[in-house]
């Protein structure tokens, strides 16, 4: 009989017959822990179960499990292991010594050697391998701890979105100021203000949120004043953006914030995991430069994580200003139902993202993110109707337009302040 974990239907029968008189069972390591071979009185009288091993494993625990199949619960039994001089364990740790002994005593190749010194040598070799494996597992755990710290930060952000928390204060007070400050620092890195790239800075801000600040307004200002100028302008633009979305549906801006944050974090986090795996594959080469690979992995991983957070916040802020959200009159859903291409009375709603259904109902899209979510099968049955509202001429004035009072100042710095 052969016990090799491939004949699942006959395993119980093979184990039941393995304790019979004259039965020979060839087994892999699966015959170790959890296999209880019963023997009868006839087998006990002739010496019990005999376990014959053909190799010694790297871990002594595996050998002891195989030995433990015989002599169970007071029954007689015997175990014996045979090793070859070409086995990896013997060749790496005791090969030369065994070869010298055979040469000195002129032992033939087919004659087994039994000596306590050889058994101790093999056991010491197993201890060395176990120590190496323990160090390897411990080292892997240290590398995993680096990713675990980053994973906790990212999952905390995702959980806040999935639980439907309000992210408006975080975006206004943390994300938006940080994005503005980082962009200003990139274009004003020189010490001399004459070397600052103010024109390119205005263009970058225009890409992020459509700034109305002109280059001439920034001349003569220090770096902190420039940051404050753009921040005030961006907060005004964000408030105006929220006001426009509230005309479509009350609270739509909060839903849009959660939707974009979740999509951006998921995409960027997957890319970050791939980059960290790629770096880990070759980080051991830093040891050739007398550097600790773990320290290098931790330092570079932290730098990459900071870049990840910056990329996430810049992308989220940009999408919040540029995402196109339009009201849906529900004609698309009715046409789909008439064509029979819908799923009948069945509908699927993504319950993990609070408020995403409202965005989809409003027809919201944010680059490829909204399209990707819609392809996941989400469906909303109730369209959102646009609220009719008539604005006066004063209310239609943009924040960067001349004020209606004729002072010559911008509206945001006069009556719009």
pLDDT by 10s per residue, the chain, length 417: 777 767 777 777 888 888 888 889 888 877 666 678 888 888 888 889 999 988 888 888 888 888 888 888 888 999 888 887 778 877 777 667 777 777 777 777 777 777 777 778 788 888 888 888 888 888 888 888 989 999 999 999 999 999 988 888 888 889 999 999 999 998 888 888 788 888 888 899 888 888 778 888 888 888 888 889 888 888 988 998 888 888 888 888 899 999 999 999 999 999 999 999 999 888 888 888 889 888 999 999 999 999 999 999 999 999 998 888 777 655 544 454 455 444 443 333 333 444 445 444 444 444 344 334 333 433 333 344 444 444 556 666 776 777 877 777 777 677 776
Do 181 and 296 lie in a common domain?
yes
Question: What six digits make up the tokens of 235?
Answer: 């907060």
Q: Has residue 361 been placed in a domain?
A: no
The pLDDT, as a whole number, for residue 396 is 65
Do 207 and 311 lie in a common domain?
yes
Do 114 and 205 lie in a common domain?
no
Domain containing 172 equals 166-322
Of 26, 32, 30, 28, the closest CA to residue 64 belongs to 32
Domain final residue pick, 285, 307, 322? 322
Domain final residue pick, 307, 322, 337? 322
For 277, which DSSP code?
Answer: H
Residues 6+ apart with CB under 8 A from 305: 150, 153, 272
Q: In terms of C-beta density within 10 A (0-12 exposed, 13-18 middle, 19 or more buried), how is residue 39 classed?
A: buried
Dist CA 349 CA 181 (whole Å): 39
Q: Has residue 364 been placed in a domain?
A: no
Do 22 and 126 lie in a common domain?
yes
129, 97 contact by CB (below 8 A):
no
Q: Has residue 414 been placed in a domain?
A: no
- CATH of residue 206's domain is 1.10.3060.10
Do 121 and 210 lie in a common domain?
no
Q: Has residue 366 been placed in a domain?
A: no
Domain final residue pick, 78, 111, 130? 130
- CATH of residue 25's domain is 3.40.50.300
> Is the full-model pTM beyond 0.75?
no
**How many structural domains comprise the chain?**
2
The pLDDT, as a whole number, for residue 349 is 39
Q: Has residue 352 been placed in a domain?
A: no
Do 181 and 91 lie in a common domain?
no
The pLDDT, as a whole number, for residue 329 is 58
Do 311 and 263 lie in a common domain?
yes
DSSP letters of 217-244? HHTT--HHHHHHHHHHHHHHHHHHHHHH
Do 174 and 312 lie in a common domain?
yes
The pLDDT, as a whole number, for residue 350 is 39
Helix H or strand E segment including 47: none
Of 306, 267, 311, the closest CA to residue 179 belongs to 311
The pLDDT, as a whole number, for residue 302 is 93
Q: In terms of C-beta density within 10 A (0-12 exposed, 13-18 middle, 19 or more buried), how is residue 193 classed?
A: middle
What are the respective helix, strand and coil percentages of the chain, to the nearest 5? 60, 5, 35
Dist CA 146 CA 302 (whole Å): 8
Do 225 and 280 lie in a common domain?
yes
Of 364, 339, 174, 179, the closest CA to residue 263 belongs to 364
Do 78 and 198 lie in a common domain?
no
Do 190 and 318 lie in a common domain?
yes
Q: Has residue 315 been placed in a domain?
A: yes
Q: Has residue 380 been placed in a domain?
A: no
Q: Has residue 194 been placed in a domain?
A: yes
The pLDDT, as a whole number, for residue 318 is 92
Do 174 and 318 lie in a common domain?
yes
The pLDDT, as a whole number, for residue 379 is 35
**Number of DSSP helices (H) and strands (E) in the chain, helices first:** 16, 4
The pLDDT, as a whole number, for residue 105 is 72
């Amino acid at each position: 009989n052969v016990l090799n974990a491939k004949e699942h239907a006959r395993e119980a029968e093979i184990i039941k017959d393995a304790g019979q008189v004259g039965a020979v069972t060839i087994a892999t390591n699966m015959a170790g822990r959890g296999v209880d071979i019963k023997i009868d009185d006839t087998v006990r009288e002739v010496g019990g179960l005999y376990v014959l091993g053909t190799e010694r494993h790297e871990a002594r625990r595996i050998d002891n499990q195989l030995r433990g199949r015989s002599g169970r619960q007071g029954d007689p039994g015997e175990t014996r292991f045979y090793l070859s001089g070409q086995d990896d364990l013997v060749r790496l740790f005791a090969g030369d010594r065994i070869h010298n002994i055979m040469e000195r005593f002129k032992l033939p190749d087919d004659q087994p050697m039994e000596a306590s010194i050889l058994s101790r040598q093999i056991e010491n070799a197993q201890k060395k391998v176990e120590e190496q494996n323990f160090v390897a597992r411990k080292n892997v755990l240290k590398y995993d701890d680096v990713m675990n710290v980053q994973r906790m930060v990212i999952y905390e952000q995702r959980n806040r979105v999935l639980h439907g928390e309000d992210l408006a204060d975080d975006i206004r007070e943390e994300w938006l100021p940080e994005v503005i400050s980082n962009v200003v620092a990139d274009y004003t890195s020189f010490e001399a203000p004459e070397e600052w790239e103010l024109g390119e800075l205005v263009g970058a801000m225009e890409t992020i949120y459509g700034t109305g600040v002109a280059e001439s307004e920034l001349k003569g200002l220090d770096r902190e004043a420039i940051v404050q100028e753009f921040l005030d302008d961006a907060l005004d633009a964000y408030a105006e953006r929220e006001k426009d979305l509230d005309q479509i549906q009350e609270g739509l801006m909060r839903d849009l914030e959660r939707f974009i944050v979740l999509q951006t974090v998921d995409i960027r986090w997957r890319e970050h995991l791939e980059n960290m795996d790629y770096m880990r594959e070759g980080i051991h080469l830093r040891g050739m430069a007398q550097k600790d690979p773990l320290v290098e992995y931790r330092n570079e991983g932290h730098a990459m994580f900071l870049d990840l957070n910056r990329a996430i916040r810049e992308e989220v802020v940009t999408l919040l200003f540029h995402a196109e959200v339009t009201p849906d009159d529900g004609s698309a859903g009715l046409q789909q139902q008439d064509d029979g291409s819908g799923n009948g009375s069945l509908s699927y709603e993504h319950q993990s993202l609070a408020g995403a259904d409202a965005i989809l109902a409003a027809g919201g899209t944010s680059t490829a993110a909204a399209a990707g979510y819609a392809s996941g099968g989400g469906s909303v049955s109730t369209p959102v109707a646009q609220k009719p509202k008539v604005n006066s001429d004063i209310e239609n004035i943009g924040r960067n337009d001349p004020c209606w009072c004729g002072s010559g100042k911008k509206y945001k710095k006069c009556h719009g302040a």
